[in-house]
């Protein structure tokens, strides 16, 4: 299992909208940082944030536009899509993942424009 395959599997798994299954990708002390917001440390904190945008959505997709890896670091250019109620959100995102030799994500940083997200939600 390569860092790239872990990230590809994670991005595909998002579509199933199963927060517990997504948490299995992370180390216990993983850090998740949506760059406009404060970083979160640990699976419980990550679970809370994932649940905020995955649970209310009827559809979630992380489309990989481009991916590059160097050692344990995987960079993604994505379009993240959500359907929440009657609202459709398409958000361009640059993501950086750090993957352990055991195939777990120890850090996930996403760079995006929060105003784009909130404007589309209305």
Residue 14 sits in a domain of what CATH number? Answer: 3.10.450.50
Are 82 and 88 in contact, with CB atoms under 8 Å apart? yes
C-alpha to C-alpha distance for 66 and 109, rounded to whole angstroms? 16
User: What domain range includes position 18?
Assistant: 3-121
Q: What is the pLDDT of residue 37?
A: 85
Phi, psi dihedrals of residue 95, rounded to the nearest 5°: -125, 150
Length of the chain: 122
Low-confidence residues in the chain, pLDDT < 70 = none
Q: What is the pTM of this model?
A: 0.93
Q: What is the pLDDT of residue 121?
A: 77
Cβ-Cβ contacts under 8 Å for 102 (sequence gap 6 or more):
none
Number of domains in the chain: 1
Q: What is the pLDDT of residue 88?
A: 93
């Amino acid at each position: 299992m390569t860092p790239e395959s872990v990230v590809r599997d994670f991005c595909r798994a998002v579509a199933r909208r199963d927060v517990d299954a997504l948490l299995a990708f992370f180390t216990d002390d993983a850090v998740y940082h949506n760059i406009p917001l404060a970083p979160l440390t640990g699976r419980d904190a990550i679970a809370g944030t994932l649940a905020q945008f995955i649970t209310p959505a009827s559809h979630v997709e992380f489309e990989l536009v481009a991916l590059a890896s160097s050692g344990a670091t995987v960079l993604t250019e994505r379009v993240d899509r959500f359907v929440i109620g009657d609202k459709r959100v398409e958000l361009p995102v640059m993501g950086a993942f750090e993957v352990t030799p055991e195939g777990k994500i120890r850090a996930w940083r996403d760079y995006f424009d929060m105003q784009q997200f909130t404007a589309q939600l209305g």
